[in-house]
């Protein structure tokens, strides 16, 4: 039985800000690749500085494959290309603590622009 793509399920785990004071919440479903998580991590690290702390609440443990360009159909599955983290709406992706509210919101907003999903900054 196929799932209806118009009906999106919502996350049941990782819904609340558990470690920090502010969090970045996903508003839609997505598969976030490891390089996208790393790019957002670099932005957060630069933004919060030495005083703040941040947590990454997702882990890319789902492998995905790709086939090279201009390859005909058939001949099996493609090679392993990397890993992705499946994210459902409502999931907290990053958390920040140890910085003021304006700094935390700006850092999380910048990190959200690196991700392929619409996000929202939430407070504890």
Q: Which fold has domain 22-60+80-123?
A: Aldehyde Oxidoreductase; domain 3 (3.90.1170)
Mean pLDDT of 27-47: 96
At residue 20 the predicted structure's pLDDT band, cuts being 50, 70 and 90, is: very high
Prediction pTM value: 0.89
At residue 80 the predicted structure's pLDDT band, cuts being 50, 70 and 90, is: very high
Task: Kindly list the domain boundaries of the chain, sorted by start residue.
Answer: 22-60+80-123
At residue 7 the predicted structure's pLDDT band, cuts being 50, 70 and 90, is: confident
Give the model's pLDDT for residue 8. Answer: 75
Give the model's pLDDT for residue 34. Answer: 97
**d(Cα 104, Cα 107) in Å, to the nearest integer?**
5
């Amino acid at each position: 039985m196929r799932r209806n793509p118009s009906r999106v399920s919502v996350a049941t785990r990782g819904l609340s800000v558990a470690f920090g004071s502010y969090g970045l919440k996903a508003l839609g479903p997505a598969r976030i690749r490891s390089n996208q998580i790393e790019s957002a991590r670099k932005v957060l690290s630069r933004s919060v500085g030495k005083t703040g702390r941040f947590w990454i609440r997702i882990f890319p443990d789902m492998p995905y494959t790709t086939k090279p360009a201009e390859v005909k159909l058939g001949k099996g599955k493609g090679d392993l290309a990397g890993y992705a983290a499946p994210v459902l709406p409502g999931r907290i992706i990053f958390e920040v603590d140890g910085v003021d509210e304006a700094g935390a919101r700006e850092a999380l907003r910048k990190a959200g622009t690196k991700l392929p999903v619409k996000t929202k900054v939430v407070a504890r």
